[in-house]
Amino acid sequence: MSETYYAGCYWLARPEPVEACAQRLASFIQRLGPLEPTWNRWHQTAANFEKARKRQVQTDEATLAKLMKSKAHRFMDSSSFWLWAGENEEETSSVHGDCGSASIHSGSVCVLNTSSRGSVAERVLTAPGLTGVMRAMALAWEPEVGIATSDAHRELIKVGQSSKVGTFVGWVMYFADFRGPVPPLPAPVQVEHIPNRGTLITLTPEKFTVSNPAHVALAAEVQARLQDAGLLTPLRPWGTWAPQSG
């Protein structure tokens, strides 16, 4: 069975109005378009694929704000969203999440899922593809952390360690600058700093999979180094990190 993958970014207790969340969502979707052709047309969900295909959504800020203000998408001070894209029922992608809440108990999130097989997966589930997704998340959402990895690897490393967001590694990771500097990492790990945002870390240019012992061992080594550097900690309420010197 082929592994499934996801990409997500996360932050905690950053209150924002619906309009700001809609602006971030519009920016994210706009940045996804150049990465994958099917990500240039998005829809709302419906009872079946054919009905959903007729519910195309314009992804400008005003339209998304109206959608996120609707009763179905509001809970307390949080705005939710759920959109999907795809040319056929077997190869769909979805973007969903929550934004705007001041709660310290439930974090804000944006997650992208896509099919694990087919032409879309061949284009997207690559190191450049998922690094591009994580870069788009960092620029649009300004999260505290992000990760793109296989569900199987996430489940594997949960054994014997914390499964909280921000405490484990994956194929592609993102850490905001305020969490601290990224230490030297072993080859073939690639590190890219995004000015005024944070750092992207891509473990391997190959497709990361738990069926490859070398990939699992590399992830474990990087986990240890990031842990020693203090980067792998649970989310903290926005604005409570101590400023970094230098």
Q: Kindly report, residue by residue over 187-217, the tens digit of the pLDDT.
A: 999 999 999 999 999 999 999 999 999 999 9
Handedness of CA 83, 85, 89, 92 (dihedral sign): negative
Q: What is the DSSP string of 82-151?
A: EEEEEEETTEEEEEEEEE----SSS-EEEEEEE-SSSHHHHHHSSHHHHHHHHHHHHHHH--SEEEEEEH
Q: Kindly report, residue by residue over 75-100, the tens digit of the pLDDT.
A: 889 999 999 999 888 899 999 999 99
Tokens representing 7?
């990409």
Full-model pTM = 0.94
Lowest mean pLDDT among 6-15, 72-81, 127-136, 205-214: 72-81
Domain boundaries, the chain: 5-228
Q: What is the DSSP string of 7-28?
A: EEEEE-S----HHHHHHHHHHH
